[in-house]
Amino acid sequence: MAAEGNRTYLYNGSGTDALSPDAYTFLNSVPLADANKKSASNPQDLMITKNGMCYVLDTDNNRLLIYDKNFSLRKVLETFTDSDGNALTLNKPEGIYAEEDGTILIADTQNNRVLRSDSNGKVSRIILKPQDMTGTSESDVFYPVKVATDDTGRIYVVARNLNMGIVTMTAEGKFMGYIGAPKVQYSLTEMLWRQISTQEQKDKMVKYVPTEYSNIAIDSEGFLYGTISSLNADDIKGVVETKDTSGSIAAVRKLNSAGSDVLKRNGQYPPIGDLIFDTTPSRMEDVALSDNGVYSLLDSTKGRIFTYDENGNLLFAFGGNGQQKQDTQRPSAIGYLDNQIVVLDSMRSELFIYSVTEYGKLLLNAVSAQFNGDFDSAYRQWSEITENNINMEYAFVGLGNAYMMEKDYEAAMECFEYASDKENYSKAKTLLRKQQMKVYFPVLFTVLIVLLVLAILKGWIQRFVRYYKKIS
337 within domain boundaries = yes
pLDDT the model gives residue 202: 46
Q: What is the DSSP letter of 52?
A: -
Yes or no: say if 292 and 275 are a contact pair by the CB < 8 Å rule.
no
Instruction: Map residue 230 onto helix, strand or coil.
Output: coil
Number of domains in the chain: 1
**pTM given for the model:** 0.85
440 within domain boundaries = no
Yes or no: say if 87 and 94 are a contact pair by the CB < 8 Å rule.
no
Could you tell me whether strands 331-337 and 295-299 are parallel, antiparallel, or unpaired per DSSP bridges? unpaired
Q: Is the pLDDT of residue 271 over 70?
A: yes
189 within domain boundaries = yes
408 within domain boundaries = no
pLDDT in tens, 293-317: 999 999 999 999 999 999 999 999 9
Q: Is the pLDDT of residue 276 over 80?
A: yes
Top pLDDT among 263 and 184 is at 263
Yes or no: say if 308 and 314 are a contact pair by the CB < 8 Å rule.
yes
pLDDT in tens, 418-453: 887 788 899 999 998 888 887 777 777 788 888 888
- Compute and round to an integer the Cα radius of gyration of the chain: 29
CA distances from 179 to 3, 152, 155, 220, 260 (A): 35, 16, 12, 19, 8
**Residue 169: burial class (beta carbons within 10 Å; 0-12, 13-18, 19+):** buried
pLDDT the model gives residue 183: 57
User: Count of residues for the chain?
Assistant: 472
pLDDT the model gives residue 230: 86
pLDDT in tens, 310-359: 999 999 999 999 999 999 999 999 999 999 999 999 999 999 999 999 99
The CATH code of the domain that includes 296 is 2.120.10.30
pLDDT in tens, 359-397: 999 999 999 998 888 888 988 999 999 888 888 888 888
Top pLDDT among 191 and 467 is at 467
4 within domain boundaries = no
Yes or no: say if 105 and 115 are a contact pair by the CB < 8 Å rule.
yes
pLDDT band at 211 (very low <50, low <70, confident <90, very high): low
CA distances from 385 to 7, 154, 167, 210 (A): 18, 42, 43, 41
Whose CA is closest to 311, among 254, 239, 385? 254
pLDDT band at 132 (very low <50, low <70, confident <90, very high): confident
166 within domain boundaries = yes
The residue type found at 379 is Y
312 within domain boundaries = yes
414 within domain boundaries = no
Yes or no: say if 287 and 305 are a contact pair by the CB < 8 Å rule.
no
Instruction: List, in sequence order, every residue forming a beta bridge with 287; answer none if it has no partner.
Output: 297
pLDDT the model gives residue 256: 94
Residue 332: which domain range? 23-355
